[in-house]
């Protein structure tokens, strides 16, 4: 007998096209949301990184500038209000944190919005380093005592809006102790925050305090009474009852030392000439930019005063800085005095730099045409002749020739010839016209 086995059919059901599309759409929405959150978090992380780096740039820049100002012995004359020049003892740390390395640091911005520090090294060479990036703005102003009790210092830039020297600042330049820095940081946002901070030279502030018999020129007190009596020598003595403003000094701290040997303790230095003792200067000094009068550290300046031209006399400081007037052959005088009968004056004059570039022609023994200095295109020749038009005022212009083996500098003359010091191919000689320390016009000549 045969057994009939019934077969069973099992059907398998799938998803419809609509269900598949709905599922894919939901999946894409969830994926898009996840990517949105991811990209948003990534953007926040990048923005925070930019802000952190900007804050670190500001912190490091402000700390470095503040430290250099605090140890400053004097401030140099800036070319614009975006530049700060600090002189200090080379035994102190410079902007790189190194000691016995440099004594002049200049802070300014370059064209890439980087805060740079230019160092004048102890060997006379210069070095430039980048301290911070993304610094979009930098300005400096200097504290001027205005005599009011609530705001004893008013900060003003060295140059006014027309780029002329601010006479208010220039008149008290030797007593400046405080610097206001305004720094703008590019943190990636539409608005670039500007932060202000103030630094004060401790050495200069204490020098001012001592030279005025106890009156602080950084933050004078506003009380109405002084102290009675004082110590021998009058360094802390006061007047009974005092005067408004709370000064504690008597007439002048200590006894005036009015002897002419003081002049041998005054070192006069500046741009364009060698340092000399005041008493050894007998002729007018040709100089550039600014001058410093530095008193030997172990000498008492009590009773001594210094004057620029016909301006008011000020107390002689350990470091006294003055700006020469702009222009050619502009005079300036400095006078020191003590008491009624002892005084001495030295004189300066700026370099005479008339226009000579358009009055010079250059010719070569291998090139028949001549050219002016301004339009000179690197020429060739074994010998080059520099000719100046007749009756041209040559002023203080000099010409420097630097060849492959030697160099020389001499006053510019009507006709000068320069030859290559050695034979052979691919030799080069550089000629440079200079006047003072800031004007330089170089050209290069090939030998073949």
Mean pLDDT of the chain: 77
65 pLDDT above the threshold of 70: yes
Beta bridge partners of 192: none
CA 96, 101, 104 angle in degrees (round to 5)? 80
* Overall average pLDDT of the 282-303 stretch: 79
Count of C-beta atoms within a 10 Å radius of residue 355: 9
The predicted structure's pLDDT at residue 220: 42
Q: Three-state DSSP class for 117?
A: strand
User: Which of 206-220, 225-239, 382-396 has the highest average model confidence (pLDDT)?
Assistant: 382-396
What are the residue boundaries of the structural domains of the chain, listed by start?
Answer: 53-209, 260-350, 357-446
**How confident is the model over 361-370, as pLDDT tens digits?**
877 766 656 6
How much is the average pLDDT of 48-69? 84
> In terms of CATH architecture, what is 357-446?
Sandwich (2.60)
Per-residue confidence at 5, pLDDT binned at 50, 70, 90?
Answer: low
**HEC string for 178-203:** EEEEEEEECCCCCCCCEEEEEEECHH
């Amino acid at each position: 007998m045969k057994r009939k086995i019934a077969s069973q059919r099992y059907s398998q059901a799938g998803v419809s096209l609509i269900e598949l599309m709905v599922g894919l759409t939901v999946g894409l929405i969830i994926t898009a949301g996840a990517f949105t959150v991811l990209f948003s978090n990534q953007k926040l992380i990048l923005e925070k990184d930019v802000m952190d780096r900007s804050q670190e740039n500001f912190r490091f820049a402000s700390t470095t500038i503040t430290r250099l100002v605090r140890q400053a012995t004097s401030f140099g004359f800036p070319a614009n209000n975006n530049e700060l020049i600090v002189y200090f003892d080379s035994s102190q740390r410079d902007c790189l944190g190194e000691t016995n390395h440099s004594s002049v640091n200049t802070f300014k911005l370059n064209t890439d919005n980087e805060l740079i520090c230019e160092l004048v090294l102890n060997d006379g060479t210069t070095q430039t380093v980048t301290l911070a990036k993304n610094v979009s703005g930098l300005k400096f102003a200097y504290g001027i005592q205005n005599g009011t009790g609530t705001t004893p210092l008013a900060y003003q830039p060295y140059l006014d809006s027309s780029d002329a020297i601010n006479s208010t600042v220039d008149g008290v330049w030797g007593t400046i102790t405080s610097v206001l820095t305004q720094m703008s940081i590019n943190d990636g946002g539409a608005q670039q925050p500007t932060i202000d901070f103030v630094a004060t030279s401790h050495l200069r502030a204490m020098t001012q305090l001592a030279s005025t018999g106890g009156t602080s020129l950084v933050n004078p007190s506003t009380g109405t009474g002084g102290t009675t009596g004082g110590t021998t020598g009058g360094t802390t003595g006061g007047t009974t009852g005092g005067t408004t403003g709370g000064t504690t000094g008597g007439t002048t701290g200590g006894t005036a030392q009015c002897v002419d040997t003081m002049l041998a303790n005054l070192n006069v230095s500046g741009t364009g000439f060698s340092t000399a003792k005041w008493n050894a200067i007998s002729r007018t000094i040709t100089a550039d930019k600014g001058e410093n009068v530095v008193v030997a550290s172990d000498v008492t300046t009590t009773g001594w005063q210094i004057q620029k031209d016909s301006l008011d006399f000020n107390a002689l400081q350990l470091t006294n800085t003055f700006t020469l007037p702009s222009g050619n052959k502009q005079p300036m005088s400095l006078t020191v005095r003590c008491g009624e009968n002892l005084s001495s004056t030295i004189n300066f004059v700026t370099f005479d730099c008339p226009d000579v570039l358009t009055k010079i022609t250059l010719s070569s023994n291998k090139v028949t045409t001549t050219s002016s200095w301004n339009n000179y295109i690197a020429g060739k020749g074994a010998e080059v002749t520099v000719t100046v038009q007749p009756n041209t005022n040559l002023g203080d212009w000099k010409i420097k020739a630097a060849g492959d083996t030697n160099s020389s500098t001499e006053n510019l003359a009507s006709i000068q010839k320069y030859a290559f010091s050695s034979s052979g191919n691919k030799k080069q000689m550089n000629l440079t016209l200079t006047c003072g320390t800031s004007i330089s016009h170089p050209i290069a000549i090939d030998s073949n």
